[in-house]
Structure 1
């Protein structure tokens, strides 16, 4: 029985071109995830699912496996994480591998901690067999007071105006996916479409959560990496 780590890393990133292997903190972005996976000592196989030869070469240089190239139909803008991981699970099962659990670890998660990956596996044993463990953090402001802008007038409107007069401390905390990793059983990956409903979150501090999709996101993450490097000296 094996524990598998799948790192999805397609080559067609548009908002930040080549972001999966762009240099971040002195190494390719994907290297941070590969190193964390190795340091966790959880996995029998750490694989990168990619459609891109250059990404595959970089992944191998940093001690990940690339046992196949991702099919083109799973490498466009519409392929979901579930579909990509399910493909990997099916590929291994078709070759006689018995998988105990599978962790999807994002390639752009440079603040992921090996200890969190380990803890996620511990929590998976407490979760229903058909559900997942994922990393999450809290919103910095009450979502009950979220605003929307009218595109025609430019005026602001509350999504829930009835919450205006309530004190912040009386509003319920809300959480969101931190976009680092997801643990699940093989059959859950093959059969489930919703990673979150009924699943168990591993809560992370807000400062360690960085969704890197835009140039501003990248700059923010770089500044945090620099600050952490200075603190470690």
Structure 2
């Protein structure tokens, strides 16, 4: 089975300039995800899609393939991820390497356990879903703001009159947050529906540690702390 793994990295970044190549725990941020994909036992065709020569060099240094430089129209601030992945799928298909499944990894979620990608792909294959999304459990006591002008009160998404203890909640009662770390999908979803999710969707539950999504300087500092404390456990 041919499983394409697409790792998109763009040169521009407004929140943290050049964050994809910024040092995190002794190597560029993007290198964590590239190494995890390259080292997956399941055997992934790891392609980094980038418009940036420095990032392309980092990707190659850590073992990924960079068979093209991303076209400028797919590297704008407003460009969605789906056409970027579709471009990589079409490129590999034109080479005679049409993928049976596509793994999308975001480098801003660098913390993954060594077996995470293998378990995710195996779950995708074994359950027969059309797409799989990585999620992390969140505290269940969620509220929504009301609209005073419309006379809509605040509302709770749990029964606050019978507040449960967190340890008593079943997996079905726990909310899960999509953190952007990983997706596994049939290529047809990208090519025919311009979406990474669709059809029968499964949840791949990540460890809370893996929920880091680096978007701010604080996120970066937290990731550095976790990597320092865990060492080679990642």
When the two structures are superposed, what TM-score results if normalisation uses the length of structure 2? 0.84
For residue 164 of structure 1, report the CA deviation from its aligned partner: 4.1
- Where structure 1 has 5 or more consecutive residues not aligned to the other structure, the ranges are 151-156
Partners of 2:188 and 2:206 lie apart in 1 by 27
- For the residue of structure 1 that corresponds to 2:21, the secondary structure is coil
Is 1:116 the counterpart of 2:113? The answer is: no
The aligned residue for residue 106 of structure 2 is: 106
The aligned residue for residue 213 of structure 2 is: 211
For residue 74 of structure 1, report the CA deviation from its aligned partner: 1.4
For residue 194 of structure 1, report the CA deviation from its aligned partner: 5.5
- For the residue of structure 2 that corresponds to 1:207, the secondary structure is helix
When the two structures are superposed, what TM-score results if normalisation uses the length of structure 1? 0.85
Is 1:179 the counterpart of 2:180? The answer is: yes
Partners of 1:79 and 1:197 lie apart in 2 by 24
- For the residue of structure 1 that corresponds to 2:20, the secondary structure is coil
Match of 2:227 among 225, 228, 232: 225
For residue 197 of structure 1, report the CA deviation from its aligned partner: 7.1
For residue 113 of structure 1, report the CA deviation from its aligned partner: 2.6
For residue 187 of structure 1, report the CA deviation from its aligned partner: 1.4
Partners of 1:102 and 1:161 lie apart in 2 by 34
For residue 149 of structure 1, report the CA deviation from its aligned partner: 9.1
Say whether the 8 Å CA contact 1:48–1:64 is kept in structure 2. Answer: yes
The aligned residue for residue 150 of structure 2 is: none
Partners of 1:81 and 1:196 lie apart in 2 by 15
- Where structure 2 has 5 or more consecutive residues not aligned to the other structure, the ranges are 148-152
Rate the CA distance shift 1:213–1:178 in 2: closer, same or farther, 3 A. same
Is 1:74 the counterpart of 2:74? The answer is: yes
For residue 213 of structure 1, report the CA deviation from its aligned partner: 0.4
Say whether the 8 Å CA contact 2:189–2:196 is kept in structure 1. Answer: no
